[in-house]
């Protein structure tokens, strides 16, 4: 039953994405705009979420919904420290997924620590998430490019 429901939700999300719905608008801010080589800084991913929509967290305890993920373009100017961490998500039991899910309404914030390994790091990639409406359950996958400007001192 869950597989049939997942297929239905996935198919409806593909149809919805054809309409180019963007219920989440992202901003990308480093904790420091200048850092020393060898220093660890926070990269802050913030999404403003439209009313009547919610976004799944990066940490989910159930299979089915698409978790928020930051996919970095690898290079030798920085290294990731740990994983993408959600900041204060809400949690609820979801009958569709048969377990607790973490999600955000209105605003979502995530932090990724990075260590600067070379001068003038190039930190970019894509953030992927799934947003769903509380009105009719329609879900939309979103992808946005990100770039963090950090200068070395």
CA dihedral for 88, 141, 134, 101, sign (positive or negative): negative
| pLDDT reported for residue 17 | 46
129 forms beta bridges with 142
pLDDT of amino acid 14: 52
Q: Residue 6's pLDDT is what?
A: 46
Contact 91, 62 (CB under 8 A): no
Distance CA 67, CA 56 (A): 6
At residue 13, the 3 state secondary structure works out as helix
The model's pTM is 0.84
Q: What is the pLDDT, as a whole number, of residue 95? A: 85
Task: pLDDT tens for the chain, 153 residues: list them.
Answer: 555 444 445 555 555 445 578 899 999 999 999 999 999 999 999 999 999 999 999 999 888 899 999 999 999 999 999 999 999 999 999 888 889 999 999 999 999 999 999 999 999 999 999 999 999 889 999 999 999 999 888
Report the alpha-carbon distance of residue 139 to residue 126 in Å, rounded.
19
């Amino acid at each position: 039953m869950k597989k049939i429901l997942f297929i239905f939700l996935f198919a409806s999300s593909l149809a919805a994405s054809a309409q180019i719905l963007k219920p989440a608008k992202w901003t990308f801010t480093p904790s420091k705009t200048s850092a020393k080589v060898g220093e660890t800084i926070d990269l802050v991913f913030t999404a403003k979420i439209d009313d009547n929509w919610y976004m799944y967290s990066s940490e989910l305890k159930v299979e089915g919904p698409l978790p928020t993920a930051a996919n970095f373009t690898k290079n030798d100017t920085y290294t990731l420290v740990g994983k993408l961490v959600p900041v204060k998500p809400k949690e609820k039991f979801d009958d569709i997924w048969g377990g607790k899910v973490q999600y955000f309404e209105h605003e979502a914030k995530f932090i990724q620590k990075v260590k600067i390994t070379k001068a003038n790091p190039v930190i970019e990639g894509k953030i992927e998430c799934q947003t769903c409406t509380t009105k009719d359950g329609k879900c939309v996958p979103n992808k946005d490019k990100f770039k963090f400007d950090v200068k070395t001192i």
